[in-house]
Chain A
Amino acid sequence: MTDNWNTDTGEAVYRSRDAIKNLRIKVRIERVTSTTALSQHLQQQVLSQQDRGAIELETLPSQGHRDDNEEELLVGWQEKFFSQYEMELFQNEAACQTPLDRQYHTEVKALNRTKGRKNNRIFTYTDHDRYTNCLSLHQLQSTDLLATTKASPTFLAQRMASVRHRRQDRRTMLGLKENECLLVTIKTDGNGTVILKPDFNKDKDPYRIVTEGEKKEVWRLTVENVSTVMKPEDKEREQNMYKDLYVRHKEYLNSLVGQDFEMPPGGILRFLMNGEIVSAKGFEYDNLYIHFFMELPNNWSSLPSQSLSGVTQTCRTKTLGKENVAFFSYPFTFETFYMSDKESDESVPQWPVLYFKVLSLDSWQRYRTEGYGYLIFPASPGKYEITCHTWRPLQTGTVSALRRFFIGGSPELEDNSYVRIPGTFKGERLSRLGFHTESTGSVTFNLHCIQQAKAFVAASMLKKRRQKVFDHLGGFSQQGAVCTILEAFQRARTKMQEARESLPRDLINPTSLSPFESSA
């Protein structure tokens, strides 16, 4: 007599791109009584017997009680089936308040006329009913809403259909609502997610429903998905349409911008640095600002529109930890071009330098130098966070210290590049003997460096091949080192020149230098 019940009545989440109105489920309930249990048991016994001639007629289930002990119903999305309570309620026109009630009234009257009520015990509540105590929606839109009611939990659902079961009791006028019990809840949000509680259990054991009330009855519940499945040809056609859509979208995106990309002329390396001056900390006085400029060595050039210097705003420091820090958050972009010469083939090129000085200006218009520093542009591309320490020139003696404190003058460097190697320096040894400085604070920069050259188009293929060779040899990869960039650069340049010499004169068109094949 022991039946196996499915105790897993949790929610199941399904996702489908199909329209929700195609969903149909079949709900079947069967009452578990002693006779049905017994007849089932006997049936099993009988069927296991080989001799079929000894079946008694009484053991077979009688057809007569079929209607009362079981019911099956096909429910679609938001399909309304009336309960006995609702039938009796909506027959009375005076009870109708909202337009929905009036619509139900006409439907009930039509049903009574045709006597075509399909369901007996199973009925549904849709979203709009005033008996659903779960949601009070203010608008029905395609976007999801958060709606809360007094006691019930919050759903991100747009519509809800619930199927309830009611015990038929002819003694009461209007059926008691307490005799209803919830069978299946279907929820959806607008994006194709369907949440079903409990899950489909067609091939598994049925669920157990116990009704409350005077007579406790046990029912078996089976939920089955009977939505029409898409035919395979339709599925294929849909997939083809999706593919087509994506291809067209890709072409549209391509057409928005175009296929070309701005490249520097052949033989020239473009160096682009996006950076920020982030902060300065550890300086003596307040209200700091930074004045910076770039220095380009030989073979480096920049566009006329590129400004090579800048001044940040004046910032009052705040105390962070043990130090006073000033935040600048000053973005700058710097673009230069490098053209390699035949003469300087052997030497490593000099990279541009950023010189900066930190100054303070207070409300009394006292102006002091706080520090000098420099930053060499990184040779390999990537992201850098660099902190540069600074110093300031010092004049020994109390007079200059007093002057600096009270009035605000302080010695400055006449040539800012003295910080590194003065521009006028021509000798072999640089001597700073006798130059007095004091260490001051530090300045932090964030740099993002990009390099671009026509040679890299071929060099990237070369590098990949070389990497494979190195991996075979177990060696290390030299990505991004200055020499590899130069090597590739020089190689490409010589190849280009050779190609140029080998071609006849009239074929050479200087503006259309096509990228050469990489021949390792």
Chain B
Amino acid sequence: MAELHIMGQIVGASGFPQNTLFCKWGVHSGGAWRLLSGLKEGQTQVDTPQTGDIAYWSHPIDLHYATKGLQGWPKIHLQVWHQDSFGRCQLYGYGYCHVPSSPGHHRINCVTWRPLGSWQEQLAQMFVGGGPQLRNPDLIYSGADRYRLHTEAMGTVELELGVIMRHFDKYGVEN
């Protein structure tokens, strides 16, 4: 049995049209992985930066996985949302990235994209907000139907992760 520790933080996000952002995050892993301790999903606070572009969350991630195999390496999925002054929440992007498989300290910039509707929907989105969302975000992982999706590029989320691996070398894993 090999163990993987993921310790880090979701630092913040930048490059979005508006700055008042929060993030819903989660870690998705395969069937051979078992979460021993830690929360594998959560939601950050809403941050409004006063100066500059980056909204900082500094949200902690502390996970301890045990695994029986290499398949289904944990992946982080992120949803960045914007809360406006009226309290409405609007989706600003989906992002997906793998947890690094080499031990050490990693800075990850995860880019995000947002689904795009027809031009009528885009016009309405400019005035009222809202916009299409994925009905089931887990569909992304199967990857089969993704080509039908029309999206636009949004900002990036910055993560700092420290990865500690244990007993992987006993089973002949090189990383």
- Which chain A residues have a beta carbon within 8 Å of chain B's beta carbons? 253-254, 256-263, 270, 272, 274-276, 278-279, 287, 289, 307, 310-318, 320, 325-333, 335, 381-383, 446, 448-457, 460, 480, 485
Contact = CB atoms under 8 A, between A and B. Distances in A.
B11 interface: no
B110 A256 contact: no
Given A276-B96, A312-B147, A382-B102, A318 B152 contact: yes
Given A315-B153, A453-B174, 6 more contacts: A261-B69, A263-B172, A314-B147, A327-B156, A329-B112, A485-B174
B98 interface: yes
Interface string B57-68: 000000000111
Interface string B132-175: 00000000110100111111111010000000000001111111
B143 A310 contact: yes
Contact of A327 (B75, B154, B175): B154
Contacts of A257: 1, 34, 66-68
A317 B67 CA distance: 39
30 contacts: A254-B1, A256-B66, A259-B1, A262-B70, A262-B71, A263-B172, A274-B98, A276-B97, A310-B146, A312-B147, A314-B151, A316-B116, A316-B151, A326-B153, A327-B111, A327-B113, A327-B153, A327-B156, A328-B111, A328-B113, A329-B95, A331-B141, A333-B73, A446-B108, A448-B98, A450-B101, A452-B171, A457-B171, A460-B169, A485-B174
Given A312-B146, A320-B15, A333-B73, A454 B172 contact: yes
A173 to B, nearest CB: 53
A327 B170 CA distance: 38
A455 B171 CA distance: 10
B98 A276 contact: yes
Contacts, number: 161
A325 B112 CA distance: 12
A365 to B, nearest CB: 13
Contact of A457 (B100, B140, B146, B170): B170
B24 interface: no
Nearest to B2: A261
A330 B110 CA distance: 10
A278 B111 contact: yes
Interface residues of B, number: 49
Contacts of A448: 73, 98, 100-102
Nearest to A287: B150
A261 B102 contact: no
A326 B116 CA distance: 13
Interface in B91-108: 94-98, 100-102, 106, 108
A450 B173 contact: yes
A253 B101 CA distance: 22
Contacts of B170: 261, 457
Interface of B: 1-2, 15, 32, 34, 36, 66-71, 73, 75, 94-98, 100-102, 106, 108, 110-113, 116, 140-141, 143, 146-154, 156, 169-175
Contacts of B108: 446
Contact of A325 (B153, B169, B172, B175): B153
A365 B49 CA distance: 41
Contacts of A262: 32, 68-71
B68 A327 contact: no
Given A258-B68, A314-B149, A253 B175 contact: no
B68 A261 contact: yes
A272 B143 contact: no
Contacts of B175: 381-382, 449-451
Contacts of B71: 262, 272, 333, 335
A270 B70 contact: yes
B100 A383 contact: yes
Nearest to B101: A448
A310 B149 CA distance: 14
Contacts of A327: 111-113, 153-154, 156
Contacts of A454: 172
Contacts of A383: 100-102, 106
Given A256-B36, A316-B151, A327-B113, A452 B172 contact: yes
Contacts of A260: 1, 68
Given A263-B171, A450-B175, A452-B70, A331 B75 contact: yes
A275 B1 contact: no
A454 B172 CA distance: 5
Contacts of B69: 261-262
B174 A313 contact: no
A274 to B, nearest CB: 4
B147 A313 contact: yes
A318 B36 contact: no
A313 B69 CA distance: 30
Nearest to B170: A457
Contacts of B112: 327, 329
Most chain B CB inside 10 Å of its own CB: which residue of A260, A320, A329, A449: A329
Contacts of B153: 279, 315-318, 325-327
